[in-house]
Amino acid sequence: MTILVLAEHQDTQLDEATAKAVSAAGRMGGDVHVLVAGSGCGAAAEAAARLEGVAKVLLADDPSLANRLAEPVAALVVSLAGGYDALLAPSTTSGKNIMPRVAALLDVMQISDVIAVEGPDLFQRPIYAGNVIQTVRSTDARKVLTVRVSSFPAAAVTAATRPIEAAAISADPARSSFVRSELSGSERPELTGARIVVSGGRALASAENFETVLAPLADRLGAAIGASRAAVDAGYVSNDLQVGQTGKIIAPDLYIACGISGAIQHLAGMKDSKVIVAINKDPEAPIFQVADYGLVADLFEAVPEFHATVAEKMRA
Amino acid sequence: MKVVVAVKRVADPNVKVRALADGSGVDLANVKMTMNPFDEIAVEEAVRLKEAGHATEIVVVSVGPEKSAETLRTALAMGADRGLLVRSDAVVEPLAVAKILKAVAETEKPDLIIVGKQAIDDDANQTGQMLAALLGWGQGTFASKIAIGGAAIEVTREVDGGLQTVNLPLPALVTADLRLNEPRYASLPNIMKAKKKPIDEKTPADYGVAVEPRLTVVRVHEPATRKAGIKVGSVAELVDKLRTEAGVL
């Protein structure tokens, strides 16, 4: 069995999601190849070639693949599919955009958001916002899947490097063109890979409060900032910080939910965190039902005190 | 501009769905059903395009059991012009839904198709992308904004790092994300009017599409539930526990 993993990367660097997808692919058994498709993405290919469990890297470096638009990348993956038994991508927004297109062109029913690999054709995936887990067997000859990165460890980085081969570039279907990106950009750790996440809900009441109340604690802890859907809908923070069923699905070591009630769709995004802390002034908030440590308090008092206490302990 | 919108009848997202004791599926008996929330956003966007003078006709399609006609009625009450029910009592996977919608698009010849980005029951997030692929159209997935410009549209997409905007020549496909709009509630007069709007009925076989599933569901189970922990009395106690007991600070 040979598996092709579509890399998640920013051309000059490889995202950790790729290392996690590689380890998921390894569990299916067989050789794992990584496809790095982009423009000026040689550095990302070199990083992929150092991942444990990878046999070979395919580099598709072409201006038509800049910004990884679904139509040309899917065409490229389909052109390479003949040599593979399975095609796999992390379930990032990019993987979710591209892989169903690949699956349809190959007449394959994709298995989305796999959380456990039980065999080469047997997979577990969450349905109903993770309230139910479905185990499915694929009857398609070739498998197409996306994997939830928070469910798999990252493949190790090794000193040894594997061969990098150039892939033939397929013709761009030219059904879309890139206009612009507005990336939030932040000095803080990335939400999906952060060890600690400090998350805020509608109770924060403004964008300013995210910065003045939540951010100092997050920065003191070296944490990423997350948010509930309500806080994003209200415009307090940008969309890429949303944690939940249809936002980011994360499993940090410590998740601190501040002023988040705990709707089903939010819990779907964070309930696999190792330790959950909830700070909420409503003692009946559903978030307390999943929290390891609950503090019934007004976040506007408790969060600054949390910050001050941690600052003091860290000095000690 | 003619717009086709696809909608799915699903369990109400506020209901906590449970696995059947024998692990064969989920228990939907007596569960309140509703239009998939992302599809509601798709319908709303089409209606706004019509109100803004961009869209001339909105055709709403659903693949599912007889009761999906109710979901179509809801879309008609929101402002869609006519409905099409492609009736199937069996589960139809996203790939087969995409094939059926492709056949519908070949008959209806829309300029734009809008679907929800994912259904909140199977959480597959596939149908729109698959349909765009089968039609050979460009796709603007996870849309938070659609701007119409003559023979093309600009779609702003919610992506992991922020926002990305793409330009798609028409015909094109868009999948709706949460912040594209806030769907309206249908007014009583519009609900009454919707009862007179036509809903056509077909079957997958009418379009020559086989709906036999490619994925076999082997088992359905509920994940281990997280137990509620303890309530702490103060911030000092919380920080102390996180340091000494949990070891995460």
Whether A2-166 shares its CATH topology with A196-315 is answered yes
Instruction: Return the residue in B125, B157, B167 with the most chain A beta carbons within 10 A, the one to mutate for interface testing.
Output: B125
Residues 6+ apart with CB under 8 A from B22: none
Per DSSP (E only), the strands in chain A are: 2-6, 31-38, 54-61, 86-90, 111-114, 116-119, 122-127, 132-138, 143-147, 164-166, 177-183, 196-200, 224-227, 254-258, 275-280, 293-296
C-alpha span between A205 and A209 (Å, rounded)? 7
Chain centre to alpha carbon of residue A188: 16
Q: Tell me: cis bond preceding A120? Omega within 30 of 0 counts.
A: no
**Mean pLDDT, chain A, whole residue set:** 96
Backbone φ, ψ for residue A236 (5° rounding): -70, -35
Interface contact B161, partner A, CB < 8 A = yes
From chain B residues 47-86, the ones with a CB under 8 A of any chain A CB are none
Domain boundaries, chain B: 2-221
Q: Are B124 and B118 in contact (CB under 8 A)?
A: yes
Under-70 pLDDT residues of chain B: none
pLDDT band at A187 (very low <50, low <70, confident <90, very high): confident
Residues B91-131: tens digit of each pLDDT: 999 999 999 999 999 999 999 999 999 999 999 999 999 99
pLDDT at A186: 81
Report CA A265 to chain centroid distance, whole Å.
17
A175 has binding-site annotation: no
Question: Running DSSP on this structure, what letter comes out for residue A131?
Answer: T
Q: What is the pLDDT of residues A189-238, one digit of tens each?
A: 989 889 999 999 999 999 999 999 999 999 999 999 999 999 999 999 99
| Beta-sheet strand order (sheet of A293-296) | A224-227, A196-200, A254-258, A275-280, A293-296, B230-232
Categorize the per-residue pLDDT at A113 as very low, low, confident or very high, splitting at 50, 70 and 90: very high
Task: Kindly report the CATH number that applies to the domain delimited by A196-315.
Answer: 3.40.50.1220
Does domain B2-221 fall under CATH 3.40.50.620? My reply is yes
Residue spans per domain, chain A: 2-166, 196-315
Q: What would the DSSP string read from start to end of B35-96?
A: E-HHHHHHHHHHHHHHHTTS-SEEEEEEEESTTHHHHHHHHHHHT--EEEEEE-SS---HHH
Cβ–Cβ below 8 Å for A128 and B144: no
- Per-residue pLDDT tens for A117-131? 999 999 999 999 999
Quick one: pLDDT at residue A315?
A: 73
Q: Tell me which residue in B163, B166, B218 faces A178 most closely, judged by beta carbons.
A: B166
- Name every chain B residue with its beta carbon within 8 A of the beta carbon of A70: 129, 132, 139, 141
Which overall architecture, per CATH, does domain A2-166 show?
3-Layer(aba) Sandwich (3.40)
**Which of A183, A249, A292, A307 is the mutation pick for testing B, counting most B CBs within 10 A?**
A292
Of A69, A144, A141, which Cα lies nearest the Cα of A105?
A144
What DSSP state is assigned to residue A243? B
pTM beyond 0.90, yes or no: yes
User: How close does chain A come to B2, measured CA to CA in Å?
Assistant: 19
- How do B33-35 and B9-11 pair as beta strands? antiparallel
Asked if A37 contacts A94 with a C-beta cutoff of 8 angstroms, the reply is no
Q: Is A112 helix (H, G, I), strand (E, B) or coil?
A: strand
Separation CA A291–CA B226 (nearest Å) = 8
Name the burial class of residue B244, with classes exposed (0-12), middle (13-18) and buried (19+) by CB atoms within 10 angstroms of its CB: exposed
Mind listing the pLDDT tens digit for each residue in A136-149?
999 999 999 999 99
Q: A316: pLDDT confidence band, cut at 50, 70 and 90?
A: low
- Average pLDDT for A5-17: 96
Q: Is A265 annotated as a binding residue?
A: yes
Confidence band of A45 (pLDDT split at 50, 70, 90): very high
Exposed/middle/buried for residue A208 (C-beta within 10 Å: 0-12, 13-18, 19+):
exposed
Q: Check residue A287 and report its DSSP letter.
A: G
Q: What is the pLDDT of residue A313?
A: 83
ipTM of the complex: 0.95
Q: What whole-number distance in Å separates Cα of residue B156 and Cα of residue B180?
A: 9
Cβ neighbours of A294 in B, within 8 Å: 228-232
Residue (of A102, A111, A115, A113) closest to A136 by Cα position: A111
Mean pLDDT of chain B: 96
Q: Which two tokens stand for residue B26?
A: 């989920």
Which of B126, B158, B163, B225 would you mutate first to test chain A, the one with the most A CBs within 10 A? B126
Q: Which amino acid is at A27?
A: R
Whether B129 and B233 have beta carbons less than 8 Å apart is answered as: no
B159 touching A (Cβ < 8 Å): yes
- Tokens matching residue B23: 């692990």
For residue B145, CA distances in Å to A132, A154, A239, A241 come to: 32, 35, 13, 18
Q: What is the arithmetic mean of pLDDT over A26-40?
A: 97
The two tokens of residue B129 are 């992308």
Query: H or E segment at A314?
Result: helix A299-315
